[in-house]
Amino acid sequence: MATMTPAAPRPLIAGNWKMNGTLQAGLAELGLLSDRIKSTRGLPEVVVCPPATLLHPAVLALAAFGAAQSVGVGGQDCHAEAKGAHTGDISADSLRDIGCAYVIVGHSERRADHGETDAAVEAKARAAHAAGLTAIVCIGETLDQRDGGRTLDVVSRQIAGSVPAGATAANTVVAYEPVWAIGTGRTPTADQVAEVHARLRADLVARFADGAAFRLLYGGSVKASNAAELMAVANVDGALVGGASLKAEDFWPIVEAKISR
């Protein structure tokens, strides 16, 4: 009997607005993005992750624009607990309740600024799964780790410690974001990205029955000028985009780089 080749995962382009965007400006950009998406075939999956204040307005606006089936909304973080005395935090259940489908966990800025460990990220990913959200689990090395030749060891350790045992390709996405490339304008070479993503794929296949179907995103100074090259790398199933996701005119060329023609 012939062996069936697994279907390639559907590409995903996610925009992380970080702590940027006002209500009026953010919804205007979503309107522009929706206009492009509604007239395009072969799209990857698209997700926007605005600040918490804009999450529910974004869900409502995308529905009003007729783009809710094409553009998902995700949170930028969640607490590991479903509820409780955690002032200023937001639960995965609350994100799901207002219409979110995704949540980013373990972004390097959370790891660095808030001291989040792999164990803390894993707990948040489990909370996301319990709430019915897809977790975008972020990993990546620092410049010192890259220069010290420890990149592959670091990302393997992070993926082992941050991705829960119950993860599946349906509820988990892994985003490789080299810390030294985030917001700096610097990007690794295509060969460097390919090397890391090959290791991540091997780690996932070794650990999960559906490891070949997990989507692996690249993030870190992704922009229109380098998107096509990065998105063509083996085992790169999309991108987690920072600053270039704030304007539809900057974000759209990155989405186009993963359109199936």
Q: Which domains does the chain have, with CATH numbers?
A: 12-19+44-65+72-256 (3.20.20.70)
What does the alpha-carbon distance between residue 261 and residue 236 come to, in Å, rounded to a whole number? 17
Tokens of 254: 């990155």
The pLDDT tens digits for 131-177 are: 999 999 999 999 999 999 999 999 999 999 999 999 999 999 999 99
- Asked if the model's pLDDT at residue 11 lies above 50, the reply is yes
Burial of 149 (0-12, 13-18, 19+ CB in 10 A): exposed
The pLDDT tens digits for 52-106 are: 999 999 999 999 999 999 999 999 999 999 999 999 999 999 999 999 999 999 9
Confidence grade of residue 2 (pLDDT, cut at 50, 70, 90): very low
Long-range contacts of 17-20 (CB under 8 A, 24+ apart): 17/48, 17/49, 17/50, 17/51, 17/54, 17/76, 17/245, 17/246, 18/51, 18/76, 18/109, 18/242, 19/51, 20/51, 20/246
- Asked if the model's pLDDT at residue 7 lies above 80, the reply is no
The pLDDT tens digits for 32-58 are: 999 999 888 899 999 999 999 999 999
Beta-carbon contacts of 215 under 8 Å, excluding residues fewer than 6 positions away, are 9, 10, 11, 12, 169, 173, 174, 237, 238
Cβ proximity of 30 and 259 under 8 Å: no
- Asked if the model's pLDDT at residue 1 lies above 80, the reply is no
- Asked if the model's pLDDT at residue 216 lies above 50, the reply is yes
What does the alpha-carbon distance between residue 165 and residue 173 come to, in Å, rounded to a whole number? 14
Residues acting as catalytic residues: 107, 177
CA-wise closest residue to 210 among 256, 172, 158, 240: 172
pLDDT the model gives residue 185: 82
SS3 annotation, the chain: CCCCCCCCCCCEEEEECCCCCCHHHHHHHHHHHHHHHHCCCCCCEEEEECCHHHHHHHHHHHHHCCCCCCEEEEECCCECCCCCCCCCCCEHHHHHHCCCCEEEECCHHHHHHCCCCHHHHHHHHHHHHHCCCEEEEEECCCHHHHHCCCHHHHHHHHHHHHCCCCCCCCCEEEEECCHHHCCCCCCCCHHHHHHHHHHHHHHHHHHCCCHHHCEEEEECCCCHHHHHHHHCCCCCCEEEECHHHCCHHHHHHHHHCCCCC
What does the alpha-carbon distance between residue 167 and residue 200 come to, in Å, rounded to a whole number? 14
pLDDT the model gives residue 9: 84
What does the alpha-carbon distance between residue 16 and residue 28 come to, in Å, rounded to a whole number? 16
